[in-house]
Chains A and B, each alone.
Chain A
Amino acid sequence: MAAAKSERSHRAPHSQALGLRFLLLAALSILLLVVDHRNNHLDTVRKAIGATVYPLRVLVDAPVSTWRWINESSVSRNELELENSRLNAERLLTYSRLQRYSALEAENSRLRAMLDATERVQNRVRIAEIMSVSANPYRHVLVINKGSRDGVYDGQAMIDDLGVIGQVIETELLSAQGILISDPDHALPVEVNRNGLRTIAVGMGEYDRLDLPFLPNNADIREGDLLVTSGLGGAFPAGYPVAVVASVLRVPQEPFAEVSAKPAAALNQVRELMLIWQEDVAAIAGDEEARQHEDDLPNDEADEIAEKEPDDNRDDKNNTAAEESEIGPGGQADE
């Protein structure tokens, strides 16, 4: 009651100050918007606020993770045995493939040495869990539970067991935000695995579709072609599967073919993903970018991705080396 009375007695000055305060804060917001949009000077502020958001994320994630824990801890012995035998079989299969792989790798590096090419290094990977996905339907962004403390850096590539998922766009101390390859703002340089044809795959805002808008009508591409990362942007290491071409439509009077592809990774179903630490990325990217500029590819998108070249990954290797051992040789990604 007392509050209501004081409210009324102070109403006149209050409502005057209200408009002023609104104008002030609106101007401040617009300033923040412009600064944030033009350049990334606000990263530290974002990180500070991000630290306060982290407990919220954990709380939001708690029911889901509790449910998963209950599910996992209440599976029957029978199911566990089944899973165990299945995993054993898979492991055998993987090992047999891996044997062949190491032989191939040795051969590859020998051949490369012969050709005097730069020997590519294996990438380090580490598993991260997805904490939440973007609430904004316009953007395909997710939050993972590894942050700058774990050595995650902006522009880092994220994959799952089937293919490329996206890349990190913002790191906080304990978590990081990643953009999916299906986000309308995302484009990544790819090549057709069959013939090495290079192009750009652009997100369309749909989880099961990427577009390849820069392919001329006579390009050698057909349904079922596997698209892999070309490594040209520098953000993604080369050779990871990205998508499978789903449809190719050639309209004779149009200069470009309408090609769409289905992402190899199940973008809206992943719970865990792998972060890739690239070694010697600067050397490889610099080398290839020089070549890229001679190409007839539209370079805008590629450059945009190339700008996010990670440069702070060197000091993080010591931290990550310890945990990599648990992933084992199966987790080591190929080039």
Chain B
Amino acid sequence: MSSNSAARRLPILGCIVVSLMLAIAPIPAWADAYRPDWVALTLIYWSMLLPRNYSIGWAWVTGLILDVAQGTLFGQHALALSLVVYITVKFHLQIRVFPVLQMTATVFAILALYQFILFWINGVAGINSPAVTYWGPVIAGTLVWPVLSMIYANVRYRSSAGG
């Protein structure tokens, strides 16, 4: 039973690791302002579908790793991701059955909140962050959500069909 669940966790762990890699991958400076919040999107998807397995604890640990990887204040992404996943899990029954457009709109709102938390912590800590760059990741993240959720649905289908 436990090995079965471990085998089921592996693809999802893979998704999180890949999203962390995408978050630190070097891309041109102009594209950097429009880098989607891959980790947030990934955690939203899996915590929405499997809220019992992937909840706040995961989000917090992943956030700490992201903090170290990006060199931000320790706990910044951890706090923001915990909030994102908290909201997602809280409303996962509603969000799960939304049609694509409505779900994307919800993701947009959650991403905006996520960016706001990061932005706000930067502001409190006195770290300069130009306001223009606030919306780039939110919009880019919303645009990639439908595709990303399709990819993840595929991952989920394959892993559950195989295991």
B72 touches A56 (CB 8 A): no
* B74 proximal to A (CB < 8 A): yes
Q: Which of A14, A22, A136, A139 has the most CB of B within 10 A?
A: A136
Q: Which residues of B contact A136 (CB under 8 A)?
A: 70-72
* B41 proximal to A (CB < 8 A): no
Q: How far is the CB of B135 from chain A (nearest CB, A)?
A: 12
* B95 proximal to A (CB < 8 A): no
A1-35 residues with Cβ-Cβ distance < 8 A to B are 3, 6-7, 10, 14-15, 18-19, 21-22, 25-26, 28-33, 35
A56 touches B24 (CB 8 A): yes
* A304 proximal to B (CB < 8 A): no
A36 touches B26 (CB 8 A): no
Q: How far is the CB of A208 from chain B (nearest CB, A)?
A: 11
B41-56 residues with Cβ-Cβ distance < 8 A to A are 50-52, 55-56
Q: Chain A, interface size: which category?
A: 35 or more
Chain B residue nearest to A52 in the complex (CB): B65
A26 touches B21 (CB 8 A): no
A26-B83, A45-B74, A135-B23 known; A53 vs B57 contact (CB < 8 Å): no
Q: Give the number of chain B interface residues (Cβ < 8 Å).
A: 46
B76 touches A33 (CB 8 A): yes
Q: How far is the CB of B6 from chain A (nearest CB, A)?
A: 14
B127 touches A185 (CB 8 A): yes
| The one of A25, A56, A184, A205 that contacts B57, using a Cβ cutoff of 8 Å | A25
Q: A99 CA to B78 CA in the complex, in Å? A: 56
Q: Which residues of B contact A32 (CB under 8 A)?
A: 74-75, 78
A139 touches B20 (CB 8 A): no
A33-B121, A37-B73, A56-B69 known; A135 vs B79 contact (CB < 8 Å): no
* A50 proximal to B (CB < 8 A): yes
Q: How far is the CB of A40 from chain B (nearest CB, A)?
A: 10
The segment out of A57-65, A217-225, A235-243, A255-263 that lies at the interface is A57-65
A64 touches B60 (CB 8 A): no
User: How many pairs of A and B residues are in contact by the CB < 8 Å rule?
Assistant: 130
A137 touches B90 (CB 8 A): no
* B129 proximal to A (CB < 8 A): yes
B133 touches A137 (CB 8 A): yes
* A134 proximal to B (CB < 8 A): yes
Q: Which residues of A contact B73 (CB under 8 A)?
A: 33, 36-37
Q: Which of A14, A36, A184 has the most CB of B within 10 A?
A: A36
* A101 proximal to B (CB < 8 A): no
A25-B57, A56-B69 known; A18 vs B86 contact (CB < 8 Å): yes
Chain B residue nearest to A49 in the complex (CB): B68
A53 touches B69 (CB 8 A): yes
* A104 proximal to B (CB < 8 A): no
A138 touches B130 (CB 8 A): yes
Q: A99 CA to B139 CA in the complex, in Å? A: 58
Q: Which residues of A contact B55 (CB under 8 A)?
A: 18, 21
List 3 tightest A-B contacts by C-beta distance, closest first.
Answer: A32-B75, A29-B79, A36-B74
Q: List 25 A-B contacts (CB under 8 A).
A: A3-B50, A6-B52, A14-B52, A18-B56, A29-B63, A29-B75, A32-B75, A33-B74, A33-B79, A33-B125, A35-B74, A49-B68, A56-B24, A57-B24, A57-B69, A60-B21, A135-B25, A135-B69, A136-B70, A136-B71, A137-B29, A137-B35, A138-B129, A184-B127, A205-B130
